Structure 1
Amino acid sequence: MFMKKKRVVIAMSGGVDSSTAAALLKEEGHEVIGISMQLYNHAELEAELKENRFDSCCSLKDVDEARRVAQILDIPYYVLNFEKIFKEKVVDYFIDEYLHARTPNPCVRCNTDVKFKHLLLKAKELKADYLATGHYVRNVFNEKEKCYELKKAKDLKKDQSYFLFGTDPKELPYLLFPLGDLEKTEVRTLAERHHLPTAQKPESMEICFIPNNNYSNFIESKIQNKKAFQGQIITKEGKILGKHDGSFQFTVGQRKGLGVFDSNPLYVLEVDHTSKKVTVGSDQDLKSIGLVAKNINWIKYPKSPCVSVKIRHSTKNIPCTIENLKTHVKVLFQEPERAVTPGQAAVFYEGDTLLGGGWIEQRLS
């Protein structure tokens, strides 16, 4: 990676990816410093929600495993308290979005506002040359344009570029992603070779601060007046089908748990923040010709209005055209797409190069 030895801070989550990234950096001869972030008070959260099972991402168990890996690799290791900033930038945002009838993406917020922004500052305080993470993404220097570009990972099934659209391009010269050119199977093999206890650790698919991934119970525990979020479930023609106990329990595209029945499958089309009405309809009704996104962050400006967009991490790239307006971007799909969801991220690409992205404000019917 480099000809000279560098001081590198590696963000360690206690999983196989960050553990292997640390091992690779150490193997290359760099001075590696491991750091884990304490993002919330585990004991308080468990007591508040009356949950005693808590082994999701960033848990105490993960911190212990990160410490074990650091001991095996013989690198310094520290745990930093990021509870306040994580609550402000991620947890409070998560709750507020659902209460305003939007579907949040806390992982994007965490990467942008906590991991890179604040952890990079800590790395600089430690006189480190770089901050490294276990993300599956590539940071490539474009010799022709004399700038760094974020590109999709070699392992497209594990690619995490979608979550990094909020990255400040000024940060790119100081970021390392050792796993960008590796397949997941290769990473586990390397972890075994380095005798890391995380080599076969399962991946966590849950939101780290939500026990058992039950976000509805978590949000409900934060609400003073629960009746204020009750409302009607209606068709797009306005016919009342039933009532619900909380608008925050619904997201666009949802089919299960609606509490109403019809001869044909019903899906959530819209959640109205003001009236608390949840509109349902057919799968065909979910399709949109485009979207409007706001708070756009451009890592690299597009060369053409013809780009591609991802409206969820798990979906394919969608060919589209974009119109860059003063406060937002208007996106028109080549073909109608289903379940465009306000609050989710719209992330733009040229080929495998990440251009940037923003937050979906509305869908265009």
Structure 2
Amino acid sequence: MKVLAALSGGVDSAVAAARAVDAGHDVVGVHMALSRNRDQFRTGSRGCCSIEDAGDARRAADVLGIPYYVWDLSEKFEQTVVADFFAEYEAGRTPNPCVRCNEHIKFEALLDKALALGFDAVCTGHYARIELRPDGSRELHRAADLAKDQSYVLAVIGPDRLARSMFPLGDVASKDEVRAEAARRGLGVSAKPDSYDICFVADGDTHGFLRDKLGARPGDIVDAEGQIVGAHDGAYAYTVGQRKGLAIGRPAPDGKPRYVLEVQPITNRVVVGSAADLAVGAILADDAGWLAGDVEPPVGIGGVPSRDAAWFDCSAQVRAHGTAVDARARVLPGGRVRVELTGDPGSPGLRGVAPGQSIVLYDGTRVLGQATVGATERMTATTEVRE
């Protein structure tokens, strides 16, 4: 096959490209330029897509003996991922830019351009597995190395793009194995630190990045009864579940820490409460997309769901490196899905789930689908799953 290898400049994408070459594919390397004002070197954090990264990607391509190009996708990145980031925080929601990047850049803009140029697939260094079903369709599964699993951020790509994707690192036992392989191959990125934080926030100061764009907007921090307990300079800088950085001068009546329970963009208020107030019993999510056809609802005229689908058992995960919890879900008309926790009502369950986060549903290691959290319902000691 003719394969486009996305080279970020890191060790994972370089080894993934090398494995694609070993498999006999005709491989071309491409580095995505996602910012027009890229720092040459990161300070205070490690992101990706810097000028330094582009140079590392080129050197990896040279070692592998494959053609190398840089594609400028900065305008698309700015219009989708960065614009969504600001809009979601301003609306009191918590976005996941890595999910949006996979959806709109790596598996939309990049893949669509690759297909238009005659490539058969895109190869990336993501840690996830693809398994073939008897009918030839593909399933997305968790990586063998659960500590590095990235199926959560890939759940958004959909079945058509999954069919054109390659993840050669899905079966590796650990990141150490990847680094050792890179060293054996003579790839200079073998010891390069992992990238983390938000790639377009070069210094890692997300609060400052938002403030520079959205400006200071002073308001009140209130408790669940509406009593003012502190002040903030922008509600957009807070997220549900946050504990640090509240700057509340006096403790809660019980002396325990306070957490953000809600961000109210219209009133410009941040509501705080106890850790117990963060427990979630049910989630209503929007814009659902499915990788597993067996959980989609029946459809009527124009492909619109004609009724609610049946409940199905699953596990639910709301953070990229979070723990999946037992749940059941039901697909609703209008691209919505209701997820209810089915474990012991007295257990912690999910805590601090913020609107805007992605919720991904699993059947064992298989990704069923994902949606965007719209609203949550509190878990109480008497919570019962409703029929």
Letter matched to residue 14 of structure 2: S
| Structure 1 stretch displaced more, 298-307 or 244-253 | 298-307
The share of aligned pairs that are identical, in percent, is: 40
Q: What's the counterpart of residue 343 of structure 1? A: 356
Letter matched to residue 157 of structure 2: T
SS in 2 for 1:168: helix
**Alpha-carbon distance in structure 2 between the residues aligned to 1:98 and 1:138:** 32
**Aligned 8 A contact 1:42 1:59 in 2:** no
**Alpha-carbon distance in structure 2 between the residues aligned to 1:352 and 1:109:** 22
4+ residue runs of structure 1 moved beyond 4 angstroms?
51-55
Deviations 1:164-199 (A, max 9, x none): 111121122211111011122211111111010111
Deviation at 1:17, TM superposition (A): 0.2
Does residue 104 (structure 1) correspond to residue 88 (structure 2)? The answer is no
Aligned counterpart for 1:17 among listed residues 9, 12, 18: 12
**Alpha-carbon distance in structure 1 between the residues aligned to 2:352 and 2:12:** 31
**Aligned 8 A contact 1:42 1:60 in 2:** no
Q: What's the counterpart of residue 143 of structure 2? A: 153
Q: What's the counterpart of residue 127 of structure 2? A: 136
Once the two structures are superposed, the pairs formed by residues 62-211 of structure 1 within 5 Å of their partners are 62-143=53-134, 145-183=135-173, 184-211=175-202
Q: What's the counterpart of residue 3 of structure 1? A: none
**Alpha-carbon distance in structure 1 between the residues aligned to 2:371 and 2:30:** 29
Letter matched to residue 30 of structure 1: H
**Aligned 8 A contact 2:46 2:196 in 1:** no
**Aligned 8 A contact 2:35 2:74 in 1:** yes
Deviation at 1:99, TM superposition (A): 0.6
**Alpha-carbon distance in structure 2 between the residues aligned to 1:156 and 1:185:** 14
Does residue 316 (structure 1) correspond to residue 323 (structure 2)? The answer is yes
| Cα distance change of structure 1 residues 285 and 55 upon mapping to structure 2, 3 Å threshold | closer
Deviations 1:88-144 (A, max 9, x none): 11000001111111111000000011111111122223322211100001111101x
Letter matched to residue 160 of structure 1: Q
**Alpha-carbon distance in structure 2 between the residues aligned to 1:78 and 1:337:** 43
Q: What's the counterpart of residue 34 of structure 1? A: 29
| Structure 1 stretch displaced more, 307-316 or 103-112 | 307-316
Gaps of 5+ in 2: 296-310, 344-348, 379-387
Does residue 300 (structure 1) correspond to residue 292 (structure 2)? The answer is yes
Aligned counterpart for 1:248 among listed residues 230, 236, 253: 236
**Alpha-carbon distance in structure 1 between the residues aligned to 2:246 and 2:181:** 45
**Alpha-carbon distance in structure 2 between the residues aligned to 1:231 and 1:182:** 49
TM-score norm. by structure 1 comes to 0.92
Deviation at 1:254, TM superposition (A): 0.7
TM-score norm. by structure 2 comes to 0.87
**Alpha-carbon distance in structure 1 between the residues aligned to 2:93 and 2:290:** 23
Aligned length: 351
**Alpha-carbon distance in structure 2 between the residues aligned to 1:29 and 1:346:** 37
Q: What's the counterpart of residue 281 of structure 1? A: 273
| Cα distance change of structure 1 residues 54 and 61 upon mapping to structure 2, 3 Å threshold | farther
Tell me the C-alpha RMSD between the 2 structures. Answer: 1.7
Letter matched to residue 166 of structure 2: L
Letter matched to residue 226 of structure 1: A
SS in 2 for 1:32: strand
Letter matched to residue 139 of structure 1: I
| Cα distance change of structure 1 residues 302 and 256 upon mapping to structure 2, 3 Å threshold | farther
